[in-house]
A = this chain, B = another copy of it.
Amino acid sequence: MALEVAAIPFTFVVHILGLVSIVLVLVWNLYFRGGLAWTSSNKSLIFNIHPVLMLIGLIVIGGEAIISYKALPLKKEIKKLIHLGLHAIALILGIIGIYAVFKFHNEARIVDLYSLHSWLGIGVIVLYGIQWIVGFVMFFYPGGTTTLRSISAPWHVLFGLFVYLLAVGTACLGFLEKLTFLEIFSRLPKYGPEALLVNFTAIVTILFAAFVVLSAISQPPQPQADDDYAPID
Protein backbone atom coordinates (compact mmCIF):
# COMPACT_ATOMS: atom_id res chain seq x y z
CA MET A 1 0.00 0.00 0.00
CA ALA A 2 3.02 2.29 -0.45
CA LEU A 3 2.07 5.49 -2.26
CA GLU A 4 4.12 6.47 -5.31
CA VAL A 5 4.19 10.13 -4.29
CA ALA A 6 6.79 12.23 -2.46
CA ALA A 7 6.44 12.28 1.33
CA ILE A 8 7.91 15.78 1.83
CA PRO A 9 4.68 17.82 1.26
CA PHE A 10 2.84 15.55 3.72
CA THR A 11 5.62 16.00 6.29
CA PHE A 12 5.23 19.81 6.11
CA VAL A 13 1.52 19.39 6.89
CA VAL A 14 2.52 17.16 9.85
CA HIS A 15 4.84 19.86 11.26
CA ILE A 16 2.17 22.57 10.93
CA LEU A 17 -0.67 20.49 12.42
CA GLY A 18 1.66 19.37 15.23
CA LEU A 19 2.43 22.99 16.12
CA VAL A 20 -1.26 23.92 15.95
CA SER A 21 -2.24 21.03 18.25
CA ILE A 22 0.46 22.02 20.79
CA VAL A 23 -0.78 25.63 20.79
CA LEU A 24 -4.38 24.44 21.22
CA VAL A 25 -3.62 22.09 24.14
CA LEU A 26 -1.56 24.83 25.85
CA VAL A 27 -4.33 27.43 25.37
CA TRP A 28 -6.78 24.94 26.86
CA ASN A 29 -4.71 24.06 29.93
CA LEU A 30 -2.95 27.38 30.59
CA TYR A 31 -5.77 29.81 29.72
CA PHE A 32 -9.04 27.88 30.30
CA ARG A 33 -7.92 25.34 32.96
CA GLY A 34 -5.71 27.62 35.10
CA GLY A 35 -2.23 26.28 34.33
CA LEU A 36 0.05 23.42 35.37
CA ALA A 37 1.58 22.46 38.73
CA TRP A 38 3.38 19.40 40.07
CA THR A 39 2.30 20.19 43.66
CA SER A 40 -0.72 22.35 44.49
CA SER A 41 -3.75 22.47 46.74
CA ASN A 42 -5.72 22.91 43.49
CA LYS A 43 -5.41 19.31 42.34
CA SER A 44 -6.77 20.11 38.87
CA LEU A 45 -3.45 21.83 38.05
CA ILE A 46 -1.69 18.48 38.60
CA PHE A 47 -4.15 16.79 36.23
CA ASN A 48 -3.46 19.43 33.57
CA ILE A 49 0.12 18.15 33.17
CA HIS A 50 -1.38 14.91 31.80
CA PRO A 51 -3.01 16.12 28.51
CA VAL A 52 -0.15 18.57 27.83
CA LEU A 53 2.63 15.94 28.15
CA MET A 54 0.68 13.17 26.40
CA LEU A 55 -0.09 15.38 23.40
CA ILE A 56 3.34 17.03 23.09
CA GLY A 57 5.17 13.78 23.91
CA LEU A 58 3.48 10.63 22.72
CA ILE A 59 1.41 12.21 19.92
CA VAL A 60 3.43 15.09 18.39
CA ILE A 61 7.04 14.06 19.13
CA GLY A 62 6.03 10.41 18.55
CA GLY A 63 4.55 11.39 15.16
CA GLU A 64 7.68 13.36 14.23
CA ALA A 65 9.76 10.30 15.22
CA ILE A 66 7.71 8.12 12.85
CA ILE A 67 8.11 10.48 9.89
CA SER A 68 11.79 11.30 10.52
CA TYR A 69 12.75 8.74 7.82
CA LYS A 70 10.58 10.64 5.33
CA ALA A 71 11.03 14.26 6.47
CA LEU A 72 14.81 14.62 6.48
CA PRO A 73 17.23 14.33 3.53
CA LEU A 74 19.95 12.85 5.76
CA LYS A 75 21.96 9.63 5.83
CA LYS A 76 20.17 6.55 7.08
CA GLU A 77 22.35 6.16 10.20
CA ILE A 78 21.60 9.76 11.28
CA LYS A 79 17.88 9.31 10.64
CA LYS A 80 17.91 6.09 12.66
CA LEU A 81 19.42 7.96 15.63
CA ILE A 82 16.79 10.72 15.30
CA HIS A 83 14.01 8.09 15.04
CA LEU A 84 15.26 6.30 18.18
CA GLY A 85 15.94 9.53 20.09
CA LEU A 86 12.59 11.20 19.36
CA HIS A 87 10.70 8.01 20.26
CA ALA A 88 12.67 7.82 23.54
CA ILE A 89 11.68 11.44 24.37
CA ALA A 90 8.05 10.69 23.42
CA LEU A 91 8.05 7.60 25.67
CA ILE A 92 9.61 9.43 28.66
CA LEU A 93 7.17 12.37 28.39
CA GLY A 94 4.33 9.83 28.07
CA ILE A 95 5.44 8.01 31.25
CA ILE A 96 5.70 11.31 33.19
CA GLY A 97 2.28 12.34 31.83
CA ILE A 98 0.73 9.06 33.03
CA TYR A 99 2.49 9.38 36.41
CA ALA A 100 0.92 12.87 36.72
CA VAL A 101 -2.62 11.55 36.34
CA PHE A 102 -2.03 8.79 38.95
CA LYS A 103 -0.63 11.50 41.29
CA PHE A 104 -3.77 13.59 40.67
CA HIS A 105 -6.08 10.61 41.31
CA ASN A 106 -4.19 9.73 44.47
CA GLU A 107 -4.27 13.27 45.92
CA ALA A 108 -7.86 13.97 44.79
CA ARG A 109 -9.01 10.49 46.00
CA ILE A 110 -10.30 9.35 42.60
CA VAL A 111 -10.26 5.64 41.74
CA ASP A 112 -7.82 4.45 39.07
CA LEU A 113 -8.10 2.45 35.91
CA TYR A 114 -11.82 1.95 35.43
CA SER A 115 -12.36 3.76 32.10
CA LEU A 116 -11.64 2.60 28.55
CA HIS A 117 -9.31 5.62 28.23
CA SER A 118 -7.18 4.40 31.16
CA TRP A 119 -7.18 0.76 30.03
CA LEU A 120 -6.07 1.64 26.50
CA GLY A 121 -3.59 4.21 27.85
CA ILE A 122 -1.79 1.57 29.91
CA GLY A 123 -1.87 -0.74 26.89
CA VAL A 124 -0.39 1.97 24.64
CA ILE A 125 2.49 2.89 26.95
CA VAL A 126 3.43 -0.78 27.51
CA LEU A 127 3.27 -1.59 23.76
CA TYR A 128 5.17 1.64 22.91
CA GLY A 129 7.94 0.60 25.34
CA ILE A 130 8.08 -2.96 23.95
CA GLN A 131 8.17 -1.61 20.37
CA TRP A 132 11.06 0.73 21.28
CA ILE A 133 13.11 -2.01 22.96
CA VAL A 134 12.54 -4.56 20.17
CA GLY A 135 13.36 -1.88 17.55
CA PHE A 136 16.56 -0.95 19.43
CA VAL A 137 17.74 -4.57 19.68
CA MET A 138 16.76 -5.50 16.12
CA PHE A 139 17.83 -2.40 14.15
CA PHE A 140 20.41 -0.58 16.36
CA TYR A 141 22.33 -2.64 18.89
CA PRO A 142 23.33 -5.41 18.62
CA GLY A 143 21.08 -5.65 15.49
CA GLY A 144 19.63 -8.75 13.84
CA THR A 145 21.03 -10.43 10.74
CA THR A 146 20.22 -8.79 7.39
CA THR A 147 17.59 -11.47 6.67
CA LEU A 148 15.98 -11.07 10.08
CA ARG A 149 15.88 -7.27 9.66
CA SER A 150 14.29 -7.41 6.24
CA ILE A 151 11.67 -9.91 7.46
CA SER A 152 10.87 -7.91 10.58
CA ALA A 153 10.97 -4.38 9.04
CA PRO A 154 7.39 -4.36 7.66
CA TRP A 155 6.08 -5.79 10.96
CA HIS A 156 8.02 -3.09 12.85
CA VAL A 157 6.35 -0.41 10.71
CA LEU A 158 2.90 -2.00 10.95
CA PHE A 159 2.98 -2.62 14.70
CA GLY A 160 4.44 0.88 15.23
CA LEU A 161 1.59 2.49 13.26
CA PHE A 162 -0.95 0.32 15.15
CA VAL A 163 0.38 1.46 18.54
CA TYR A 164 0.53 5.06 17.30
CA LEU A 165 -3.07 5.09 16.04
CA LEU A 166 -4.14 3.46 19.31
CA ALA A 167 -2.36 6.33 21.13
CA VAL A 168 -4.24 8.91 19.03
CA GLY A 169 -7.55 7.14 19.65
CA THR A 170 -6.78 7.03 23.38
CA ALA A 171 -6.02 10.78 23.32
CA CYS A 172 -9.43 11.43 21.72
CA LEU A 173 -11.09 9.29 24.42
CA GLY A 174 -9.28 11.44 26.99
CA PHE A 175 -10.47 14.71 25.41
CA LEU A 176 -14.07 13.43 25.40
CA GLU A 177 -13.89 12.03 28.94
CA LYS A 178 -12.44 15.21 30.48
CA LEU A 179 -14.88 17.45 28.61
CA THR A 180 -17.83 15.27 29.67
CA PHE A 181 -16.73 15.58 33.34
CA LEU A 182 -16.40 19.37 32.98
CA GLU A 183 -19.83 19.66 31.32
CA ILE A 184 -21.50 17.57 34.04
CA PHE A 185 -19.65 18.56 37.24
CA SER A 186 -18.51 22.14 36.39
CA ARG A 187 -21.52 22.99 34.21
CA LEU A 188 -19.24 23.96 31.31
CA PRO A 189 -21.47 25.13 28.42
CA LYS A 190 -21.77 22.34 25.82
CA TYR A 191 -21.40 24.79 22.91
CA GLY A 192 -19.10 27.26 24.71
CA PRO A 193 -15.61 28.30 23.55
CA GLU A 194 -13.78 25.78 25.76
CA ALA A 195 -15.91 22.84 24.54
CA LEU A 196 -15.36 23.87 20.91
CA LEU A 197 -11.62 24.32 21.55
CA VAL A 198 -11.25 20.81 23.01
CA ASN A 199 -13.23 19.19 20.17
CA PHE A 200 -11.18 21.08 17.56
CA THR A 201 -7.95 20.05 19.31
CA ALA A 202 -9.07 16.42 18.96
CA ILE A 203 -9.88 16.90 15.27
CA VAL A 204 -6.50 18.57 14.59
CA THR A 205 -4.85 15.61 16.39
CA ILE A 206 -6.70 13.13 14.15
CA LEU A 207 -5.66 15.07 10.99
CA PHE A 208 -2.07 15.19 12.30
CA ALA A 209 -2.10 11.39 12.68
CA ALA A 210 -3.61 10.94 9.20
CA PHE A 211 -0.73 12.93 7.68
CA VAL A 212 1.81 11.00 9.78
CA VAL A 213 0.49 7.78 8.21
CA LEU A 214 0.42 9.38 4.72
CA SER A 215 4.06 10.46 5.18
CA ALA A 216 5.06 7.01 6.46
CA ILE A 217 3.70 5.20 3.39
CA SER A 218 5.02 7.73 0.83
CA GLN A 219 8.43 8.05 -0.77
CA PRO A 220 11.46 9.45 1.13
CA PRO A 221 13.21 12.63 -0.10
CA GLN A 222 16.24 10.88 -1.66
CA PRO A 223 17.19 7.39 -2.81
CA GLN A 224 18.49 5.32 0.08
CA ALA A 225 20.59 2.84 -1.88
CA ASP A 226 22.62 1.84 1.19
CA ASP A 227 19.59 1.01 3.33
CA ASP A 228 19.44 -2.26 5.14
CA TYR A 229 16.21 -1.12 6.72
CA ALA A 230 13.67 0.17 4.27
CA PRO A 231 10.59 0.70 6.44
CA ILE A 232 8.14 1.24 3.61
CA ASP A 233 7.62 -1.15 0.74
Residues of A within 8 A of B (CB): 1-3, 111, 114-117, 119-120, 154, 157-158, 162, 165-166, 169, 172-173, 175-177, 179-181, 184, 190-191, 195, 198-199, 202-203, 206, 210, 213-214, 217, 232-233
Q: How many copies, total? A: 2
Contact of A114 with B191 at beta-carbon distance under 8 Å, contacts A173-B173, A180-B177, A210-B162 already known: yes
Set of chain B residues within 8 Å of A195, measured between Cβ atoms: 114
19 A-B pairs (CB sep. < 8 Å)? A1-B217, A1-B232, A3-B158, A114-B190, A115-B179, A115-B190, A116-B172, A116-B175, A116-B179, A116-B198, A116-B199, A117-B176, A120-B172, A158-B214, A169-B172, A172-B173, A180-B180, A180-B181, A184-B184
Set of chain B residues within 8 Å of A233, measured between Cβ atoms: 1
Please give me the residue from chain B that is nearest to A119 by CB atom: B199
Contact of A190 with B111 at beta-carbon distance under 8 Å, contacts A1-B233, A154-B1, A180-B180 already known: yes
Please give me the residue from chain B that is nearest to A176 by CB atom: B116
Please give me the residue from chain B that is nearest to A210 by CB atom: B162
Set of chain B residues within 8 Å of A206, measured between Cβ atoms: 120, 166, 169
Q: How far does the alpha carbon of A233 sit from the alpha carbon of B116 in the complex, in Å?
A: 35
Residue in B2, B162, B180 whose CB lies within 8 Å of A115: B180
Set of chain B residues within 8 Å of A199, measured between Cβ atoms: 115-116, 119
Known: A117-B176, A176-B177, A177-B180. 8 other contacts (CB 8 A): A115-B190, A116-B199, A162-B213, A169-B169, A169-B172, A169-B206, A180-B181, A184-B184
Minimum CB–CB distance from A156 to chain B (whole Å) comes to: 11
Set of chain B residues within 8 Å of A157, measured between Cβ atoms: 1
Set of chain B residues within 8 Å of A213, measured between Cβ atoms: 162
Q: How far does the alpha carbon of A111 sit from the alpha carbon of B158 in the complex, in Å?
A: 40
Set of chain B residues within 8 Å of A165, measured between Cβ atoms: 165
Q: How far does the alpha carbon of A213 sit from the alpha carbon of B177 in the complex, in Å?
A: 27
Q: How far does the alpha carbon of A210 sit from the alpha carbon of B159 in the complex, in Å?
A: 10
Most B Cβ at <10 Å: residue of A1, A165, A190, A195: A1
